Amino acid sequence: MDLTLTFSLVAAIGAAATALVVLLLRPHLHRLLLDLCGSPARAGFWLAATLLGLGLCGLLSATSTLGYSDDGTPHELFLGGVSQLRVLLIGLLGSLVVVAWVLGVAIKGLQQRAERHAYLDAMKRVPPPPAPPQP
């Protein structure tokens, strides 16, 4: 096996793994974004932007040449392929962590706004205190 074939094979595996992650996350992320964004148009935009970011990060990570050396011994090709897969996994995991963190912050903000609105609604339903007696 030569360098080009090894690199291409591992890059194809990386592209397949990236596609699998994107397809796996799409329906769950879409439902979550519908709740957070409030409208299908905004949710659709953020879904497309998030999945595009995840896909590009995965593809860029899958085409890393970090572990490859110039001599084409089978041992060096194997280690280069393993390094390429490691960079792919780090890239995908890193992008997923960033998405999860941003969604966590958005969910917390949504919950705080809902609690504030519930408090204000409860305050509107309470009758005002009676006026003090006049001397």
- For the segment 60-79, what is each residue's pLDDT rounded down to a tens digit? 998 888 878 777 788 888 88
Quick one: pLDDT at residue 102? 95
How many Cβ atoms sit within 10 Å of the Cβ of residue 81? 19
Task: Give the mean pLDDT of the chain.
Answer: 90
Q: Which two tokens stand for residue 129?
A: 């205190």
| Residue 106 clears pLDDT 80, i.e. is over it | yes
Classify burial at 62, counting beta carbons within 10 Å of its beta carbon; exposed 0-12, middle 13-18, buried 19 or more: buried
Query: Interior CA angle at 10 toward 6 and 11, to 5°?
Result: 115
- How confident is residue 45, by pLDDT bands cut at 50, 70 and 90? very high
Give the pLDDT band (50/70/90) at residue 56.
very high
The pLDDT of 45-72, averaged and rounded, is 89
Structure tokens at 52: 């595009």
Helices (H), 1-135: 3-37, 40-62, 74-125
pLDDT in tens, 80-94: 889 999 999 999 999
